[in-house]
Amino acid sequence: MTPPDRYARQRLFAPFGGGGQAKLAAARVTLIGCGALGTHLAQHLVRAGVGRLRICDRDFVELNNLQRQVLFDEDDVRRNLPKAAAAAAKLARVNGEVSVEPRIVDVNPSNVEALIADADLVLDGTDNFETRFLLNDACLKLKKPWVYGGCVGADGMVLAVLPGKTPCFRCFVPDAPEPGSVATCDTAGVLGPAVGVVASLQSAEALKLLTGHPEALADGLITVDVWGNRQHIFRMARLDSCPACGQGRYDFLSGTAAGAATTLCGRNAVQVTPAGEAKVDLEGLEKRLAGVGTVKRNEYLLKLDADGFEVTVFPDGRAIVKGTDDPSRARAIYAKYVGS
């Protein structure tokens, strides 16, 4: 009796076929970030039969993740599990043919190249601009294709980057936005269906690349609004003026454009300093954070109390995160509430 083929429906899709399935089974993918987008991405690839998946994430599962982070449940919250470990455990029960490697790690300039060096493709499941610029630099340097995805509210964006062939992320977004100037899912919310749409588009681009069909990629930045029922592709050529792919300057990978986090001795607090010069509109930030926690502002600073943390933000973008002495945790809190 012929054993059942779990990929039978996928093989029937003509552009995919048996050859595509074999290429997928031989592929190695590194996923950076395993939150809302990352859990969807990981599930799509494991169910499709990717050979090896490395999941990199620094965070742990919280109750408010469950609305949109599809690999987690209440037991993961009770057990205070790291997201990478919880995701790997779930995925092992989905498809035992796939090798899933959880890495509980803060992705930064010192380790990003090692995490993606053996990958055929890198997927973005992160939630902040600084890490995306870092991924862009590292993938360009190592000539690794990667797929960006972002989602806030009901809006999302997707971009597949092929080093040396397509515009890179920095062609579309030359510099990181000023801290506090861009909404995050923790200040503007996010719809679960919007996350699903964006991650599905990312996964489709990933499958095209992994099965040898780059000609089927969207030729630009995909934008979607699931509430307003809109979708568009922004097309542009590679820019010679782009610091990264045009000039070969990897500012975020070298650390010259990266922010800093310094533990404040004896205070259970970390000072987070954004990259370069920044200017925060404290009044505008106060409005965005009004529904998140208790917010107080004067002409010198803004103070937010939320989720057991006290975040003090200064006009120059610097912040003191009280409630942790872990720099990576402080950066995550900063990205969550202030942005990056």
Is 210 exposed, middle or buried, given 0-12, 13-18 or 19+ CB atoms closer than 10 A? buried
Beta-ladder partners of 322:
269, 310
Instruction: Assign residue 274 a region (left: φ > 0; alpha: ψ between -120 and 50; beta: otherwise).
Output: beta
Q: Rounded to whole angstroms, how far apart are CA atoms 140 and 225? A: 29
The values of phi and psi at residue 79, to 5°, are: -85, -5
C-beta separation of 120 from 205 below 8 A: no
Q: Work out the widest C-alpha separation in the chain, in whole angstroms.
A: 76
Is residue 185 part of the annotated active site? The answer reads yes
Using an 8 Å Cβ cutoff, are 161 and 138 in contact? no
How far apart CA 25 and CA 269 sit, in angstroms, is 45
Residue 278 has a CB neighbour count (10 Å cut-off) of 21
Angle between helical axes of 83-94 and 36-48 (0-180°, round to 10): 30
Helix (H, G, I), strand (E, B) or coil at 155: strand
From 151, 171, 185, 242, the catalytic residue: 185
Q: Helix or strand or coil: residue 191?
A: coil
Active-site residues, by number, are 185
